[in-house]
């Protein structure tokens, strides 16, 4: 876009899309992301009359799309966030978490799950045949080695009481053990691809029980006849 030619960083907040009256529930996650981005961009662009040609950082978020959690409601709400990382830059991680808290009007959140891109994780690609209604998929596993690069900044948030527990995604038991023993504040959540529950190892389940780690499922990466990552 010519009007934001110099922009190098972009923050875009869609809010809770389930509350949008003009957007139907979209089953395809890629179409959903595209639709949400277009909708928020159009709203923001129509309300923003500032000359943006020299701006290097853009915060694209409309007040009507802001989902602040009222103070009176906070005690009854459990807040979890998922951070999809394409970089291991600590400042970028801090900005992402702090911006999320700010947009929600929160001082803290219960859980932060971290998901690394295949380029960062450098983990094995695991084939998952159809299971529980899912399509065939290839899912990259996160590795302890890659997570150790960014874990200290995540621990900062726990130590300052901004996050109460940390989580990871698609970690096999060997990598969970390596991460658990190497960090000061270990993960308490491991999200696994929903299609892998048919292949869940007994070792992983036992390790989770022994160390009070919650095993949850996700459906972030599921590409028919091939690998994809969202």
Q: What is the CATH number of the domain that holds 174?
A: 3.20.20.100
Domain count along the chain: 2
Higher per-residue confidence, 35 vs 110: 110
Structural domain containing residue 27: 1-67
- Give residue-wise pLDDT tens across range 90-138: 999 999 999 899 888 899 999 999 998 878 877 666 665 555 555 656 6
| 54/24 same-domain check | yes
Instruction: Encode 39-60: b = buried (16+ Cβ within 10 Å), e = exposed.
Output: bbeebbeeeeeeeeeebeebeb
Distances (CA, A) of 207 to 64, 81, 117, 187: 44, 24, 25, 12
Q: Which of 18-32, 77-91, 123-137 has the lowest mean pLDDT?
A: 123-137
| 79/46 same-domain check | no
pTM: 0.79
| 89/109 same-domain check | yes
Report how far residue 108's alpha carbon sits from residue 58's, in angstroms, rounded to the nearest whole number. Answer: 24
| pLDDT, mean over the chain | 79
What single DSSP character describes residue 110? E
| 141/168 same-domain check | yes
By CB neighbour count within 10 A (0-12 exposed, 13-18 middle, 19+ buried), where does 95 fall?
middle
- Give residue-wise pLDDT tens across range 186-228: 999 999 887 665 557 889 899 999 999 999 987 775 433 333 3
Which of these three, 37, 67, 97, is where a domain ends? 67
Which of these three, 67, 91, 109, is where a domain ends? 67
Which H or E run contains 124?
none
Query: What are the tokens at 9?
Result: 């960083």
Higher per-residue confidence, 28 vs 87: 87
Report how far residue 123's alpha carbon sits from residue 139's, in angstroms, rounded to the nearest whole number. Answer: 10
At residue 229 the predicted structure's pLDDT band, cuts being 50, 70 and 90, is: very low
User: Can you give the pLDDT at residue 228?
Assistant: 37
Which of these three, 36, 67, 98, is where a domain ends? 67
| 87/197 same-domain check | yes
| 219/107 same-domain check | yes
Report how far residue 202's alpha carbon sits from residue 222's, in angstroms, rounded to the nearest whole number. Answer: 24
């Amino acid at each position: 876009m010519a009007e934001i030619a110099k922009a190098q960083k972009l923050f875009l907040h869609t809010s809770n899309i389930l509350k949008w009256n003009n957007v139907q529930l979209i089953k395809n996650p890629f179409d959903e992301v595209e639709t949400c981005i277009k909708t928020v961009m159009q709203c923001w662009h129509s309300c923003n009359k500032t000359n943006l040609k020299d701006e290097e950082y853009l915060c694209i978020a409309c007040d009507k799309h802001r989902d602040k959690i009222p103070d009176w409601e906070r005690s009854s709400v459990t807040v979890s966030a998922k951070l999809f990382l394409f970089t291991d830059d600590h400042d970028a991680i801090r900005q992402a978490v702090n911006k999320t808290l700010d947009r929600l009007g929160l001082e803290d959140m219960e859980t932060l799950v971290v998901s690394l891109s295949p380029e960062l994780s450098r983990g094995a690609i695991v084939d998952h045949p159809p299971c529980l209604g899912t399509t065939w998929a290839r899912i990259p596993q996160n590795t302890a080695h890659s997570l150790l690069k960014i874990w200290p900044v995540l621990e900062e948030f726990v130590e300052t009481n901004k996050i109460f527990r940390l989580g990871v995604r698609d970690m096999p038991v060997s990598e969970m053990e390596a991460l658990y023993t190497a960090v000061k504040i270990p993960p308490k959540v491991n999200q696994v691809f929903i299609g892998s529950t048919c292949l869940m190892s007994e070792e992983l389940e036992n390790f989770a029980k022994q160390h009070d780690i919650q095993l949850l499922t996700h459906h972030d990466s599921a590409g028919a006849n091939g690998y994809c990552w969202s």
